């Protein structure tokens, strides 16, 4: 049956909550990298080493939700994606990965359309299991040894004073249409950037006009290097506790690392939000109930150390909808990663409106709570995903659209191209760097 080209708002909401099908490829890269480093650190009698970033999206829901992805294996597997659309939009997305292809030549620039998106075509979707890969094979070969996190599980024996409270009446402060930029402190080869390079990157983000920077975990000395630079440029921090395939037990030490960092500094100044987990339920790294308990555990630890700002988790809208009774009560704000590119019916010129409509839907999932998009953008290189075409021109159109329609509540993905990643599905995973567009 042919679905009419224009659909009503009520139908769009129905499509928005339809069950999603997607899979990550970048996730395994970090999980195995973590396992390799944990093994090495164990020999060195180090309690733990958190080496994750959770910063990549390759597969997504048909309605545009992103998710962390495991890197493409040597024996690539195939997978068909259920694509569908939800609402019309004019904007851009964040920075996931996929198979490489050259970007299409710039089309003639046209004014963004605001017509309703065509009705989605539901296709049968299957996911082939990617072959397992050893930690040694998955780990990158950085130019210099990977740095250990500056703070490990134990807090200082005699803190000078209890960290000052970060309580805010309005938890999030935005800078017009540019709220946040995602950032991973890695070199092009996958190692940890030196503090001097991190300081330069953060200074540039501040110069571009962003009011916050989002981190995914505590690795690569991010708490100290990024936080120090951010505070010197008056940029707020969105800290992350990353949950990998190893589960919550491996993620738990990151809570203490954050508490230790705040205790050592004597304040939580500049910490605007803490995100516990990044699509952990969707990736089956933990159950919704276990995640809710972990978020509550983290909130208690942060509160005891003087933090009173918002703590949340981020999932796909579909996962939040299915588990809203469990996840919404423990989340101070409603958060999701919204990527227009992974909806095969959304064009670059529609990206902004798409993101805005998804934020509206997100607000309805957790009534009474502010909704934020914690990852969004558009790739500059790669293969087309239906109507979603990567390219430098398309990226600029999409990012501008997202900025105009929802930039004040979106974290743009990502600061620069992540050359250390696998190219992934559609060859886009390395090509989400967008700071040059601001």
Burial class from Cβ neighbours inside 10 Å (0-12, 13-18, 19+) for residue 169 reads: exposed
Q: How many Cβ atoms are within 10 Å of 384's Cβ, its own excluded?
A: 17
Does the active-site annotation cover 400?
no
Point out the catalytic residue in the list 32, 65, 375, 400: 375
Stated as kind and residue range, the H or E segment containing 181 is strand 180-182
Does the active-site annotation cover 137?
no
Residue 408, C-beta contacts closer than 8 angstroms, at least 6 positions apart: 174, 176, 177, 178, 179
CA distance 336 to 317: 6
CA atoms within 13 A on the CB side of 19: 4
Strand partners, 404: none
Residue 13, C-beta contacts closer than 8 angstroms, at least 6 positions apart: 361, 364
Q: How many Cβ atoms are within 10 Å of 10's Cβ, its own excluded?
A: 8
CA distance 164 to 427: 46
Contact present, 69 and 57 (Cβ < 8 Å): yes
Contact present, 267 and 163 (Cβ < 8 Å): yes
Residue with tokens 């180090």: 46
Our CA dihedral for 326, 330, 331, 334, rounded to 10 degrees, sits at 30
Q: Which of 127, 60, 21 is nearest to 343 (CA)?
A: 60
Point out the catalytic residue in the list 97, 257, 279, 322: 279
CA distance 102 to 389: 11
Q: How many Cβ atoms are within 10 Å of 167's Cβ, its own excluded?
A: 11
CA distance 45 to 159: 25
CA dihedral sign, ordered 434, 356, 320, 166: positive
* Helical residues (DSSP H) of 56-159, grouped into ranges: 135-138
For residue 87 the two structure tokens come to 């609402």
CA distances from 283 to 54, 206, 279 (A): 12, 33, 6
> Active-site residues: which are they?
279, 375
């Amino acid at each position: 049956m042919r679905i009419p080209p224009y659909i009503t708002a009520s139908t769009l909401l129905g499509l928005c909550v339809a069950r999603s099908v997607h899979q990550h490829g970048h996730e395994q890269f970090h999980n195995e990298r973590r396992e390799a480093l944990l093994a090495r650190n164990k020999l060195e009698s180090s309690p733990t080493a958190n080496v994750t970033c959770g910063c990549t999206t390759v597969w997504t829901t048909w309605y545009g939700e992103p998710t962390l992805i495991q890197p493409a294996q040597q024996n690539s597997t195939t997978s068909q994606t259920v694509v569908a659309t939800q609402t019309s939009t004019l904007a851009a997305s964040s920075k996931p990965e996929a198979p490489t292809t050259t970007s299409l030549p710039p089309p003639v620039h046209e004014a963004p359309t605001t017509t309703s998106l065509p009705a989605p075509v539901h296709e049968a979707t299957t996911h082939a299991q990617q072959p397992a890969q050893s930690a040694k094979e998955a780990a990158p070969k950085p130019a210099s040894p990977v740095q250990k996190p500056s703070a490990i599980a134990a807090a200082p024996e005699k803190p000078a004073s209890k960290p000052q409270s970060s309580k805010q009446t309005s938890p999030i402060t935005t800078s017009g249409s540019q709220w946040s930029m995602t950032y991973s402190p890695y070199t092009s080869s996958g190692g940890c950037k030196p503090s001097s390079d991190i300081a330069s990157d953060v200074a540039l983000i501040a110069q571009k006009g962003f009011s916050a920077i989002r981190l995914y975990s505590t690795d690569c000395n991010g708490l100290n290097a990024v936080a120090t630079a951010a505070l010197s440029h008056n940029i707020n921090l969105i800290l992350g506790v990353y949950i990998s395939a190893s589960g919550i037990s491996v993620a738990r030490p990151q809570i203490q690392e954050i508490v230790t960092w705040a205790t050592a500094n004597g304040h939580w100044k500049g910490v605007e939000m803490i995100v516990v987990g990044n699509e952990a339920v969707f990736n089956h790294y933990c159950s919704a109930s276990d995640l809710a308990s972990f978020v509550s555990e983290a909130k208690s630890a942060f509160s005891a150390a003087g933090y009173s700002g918002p703590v949340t988790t981020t999932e796909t809208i579909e996962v939040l909808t299915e588990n809203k009774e469990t996840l919404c009560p423990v989340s101070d704000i409603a958060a999701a990663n919204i990527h227009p590119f992974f909806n095969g019916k959304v064009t670059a010129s529609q990206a902004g409106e798409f993101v805005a409509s998804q934020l509206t839907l997100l607000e309805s999932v957790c009534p009474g709570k502010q909704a934020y998009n914690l990852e969004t953008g558009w790739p500059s290189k790669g293969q087309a995903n239906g109507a979603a075409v990567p390219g430098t021109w398309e990226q600029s159109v999409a990012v501008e659209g997202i900025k105009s329609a929802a930039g004040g509540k979106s974290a743009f993905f990502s600061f620069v191209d992540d050359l250390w990643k696998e190219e992934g599905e559609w060859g886009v995973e390395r090509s989400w760097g967008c700071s040059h567009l601001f």
